[in-house]
Amino acid sequence: MVAMGLNPRKVWIQAQYPASLHTLTRNNPHCFVNWGWHVAPTLCVRGRHPFRRQTMVIDPSLFATPVTEATWKGVQGDPNATLTETDGSIFWLWSNGTDPTYAQTDQVLATYRLALAARSAQQGPSPYANCP
For the chain, which residues make up each domain, given as ranges? 9-123
- Interior angle at CA 41, CA 37 and CA 47, nearest 5: 125
Write out the chain's pLDDT in tens, 132 residues: 888 988 999 999 999 887 789 999 998 999 999 999 999 999 998 777 767 788 999 999 899 999 999 999 999 999 999 999 999 989 989 887 899 888 998 999 999 999 999 999 999 998 999 998
Q: Is the pTM of this model over 0.75?
A: yes
Nearest to 28 by CA among 101, 127, 105, 104: 127
